[in-house]
């Protein structure tokens, strides 16, 4: 692991990726009650499949926090979920409190394409859920889970189902991690204006959200709106 100064995680991971760092290279820092880390991933997928990486990275965090069939993780099953597309939230039953923000930036270097996954964990919220692991231990668990999940997804992305769309192989599993699905919600523009209100009914294989409104179904891409409970 490579400790870097506060605020430099994203640049450090990008530079490491361009220089050919292997998947799992990680930088981290802790300041202002946030634990921030960036990890390099190198999935062997086509460029358009990189669109799914924020979703897949969030699933990796859920693996570490809520556990899997083989590992109980940090014991937060039922206490955390994904806020579409990729942030992690807590505060059941509404799940409106940010626990971890996820940002993914792709790039290319001499060793090929890579992505820097940057995660900002609200440590006070995590402590409120009973998790008090040391910084380095927590970063190792979270970053390792992201890399494992991305690697597993990359294998599936090369199957006939994966070629249908980047999220196709994991979409049903992703559904189960989004607590707002099936509930009344609003699509909100980046400047805070509500664009539509209805039931958050589903997602497609490209990660677009569907709201069932009085005027019919409307689809929204993750780069254009946020979906929030009403």
Q: What is the pLDDT of residues 73-108, one digit of tens each?
A: 999 999 999 999 999 999 989 999 999 999 999 999
Q: Phi-psi region for residue 141, left (φ > 0), alpha (ψ -120 to 50) or beta?
A: alpha
pTM of the model: 0.94
Cis peptide before 97 (omega within 30 of 0): no
Q: Residue 60's pLDDT is what?
A: 98
pLDDT greater than 80 at residue 2: no
The Cα–Cα gap between 130 and 122 comes to 13
Q: What is the pLDDT of residues 95-143, one digit of tens each?
A: 999 999 999 999 998 889 999 999 999 999 999 999 988 999 999 999 9
Q: Residue 171's pLDDT is what?
A: 97
Counting other chains too, the contacts that 110-114 makes at CB distance below 8 Å and 24 or more residues apart are 110/18, 110/19, 110/20, 111/19, 111/20, 111/42, 112/42, 113/42, 113/47, 113/50, 114/17, 114/18, 114/21, 114/23, 114/40, 114/41, 114/42
Asked if residue 171 lies in contact with residue 203, where contact means CB atoms within 8 angstroms, the answer is yes
Place 6 in a pLDDT band, splitting at 50, 70 and 90.
Answer: low
Q: What is the pLDDT of residues 154-192, one digit of tens each?
A: 999 989 999 999 999 999 999 999 999 999 999 999 998
């Amino acid at each position: 692991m490579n400790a870097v100064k506060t605020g430099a995680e994203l640049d450090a991971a990008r530079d490491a990726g361009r220089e050919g760092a292997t998947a799992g290279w990680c930088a981290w820092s802790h300041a202002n009650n946030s634990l921030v880390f960036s990890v390099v991933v190198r999935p062997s997928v086509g460029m358009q499949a990189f669109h799914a990486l924020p979703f897949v990275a969030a699933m990796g965090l859920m693996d570490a926090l809520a556990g899997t069939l083989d590992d109980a993780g940090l014991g937060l099953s039922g206490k955390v979920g994904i806020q579409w597309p990729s942030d992690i939230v807590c505060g059941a039953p509404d799940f409106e409190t940010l626990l971890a923000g996820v940002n993914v930036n792709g790039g290319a270097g001499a060793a090929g394409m890579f992505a820097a996954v940057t995660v900002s964990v609200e440590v006070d919220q995590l402590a409120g859920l009973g998790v008090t692991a040391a910084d380095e231990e927590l970063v190792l668990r979270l970053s390792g889970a992201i890399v494992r999940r991305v690697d597993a997804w990359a294998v599936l992305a090369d199957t006939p189902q994966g070629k249908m769309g980047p999220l196709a192989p994991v979409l049903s599993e992703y559904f189960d991690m989004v607590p707002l699905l099936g509930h009344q919600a609003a699509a909100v523009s980046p400047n805070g204006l509500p664009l539509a209100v209805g039931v958050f009914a589903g997602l497609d294989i490209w990660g677009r959200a569907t709201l069932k409104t009085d005027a019919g179904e409307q689809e929204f891409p993750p780069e254009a709106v946020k979906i929030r409970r009403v």
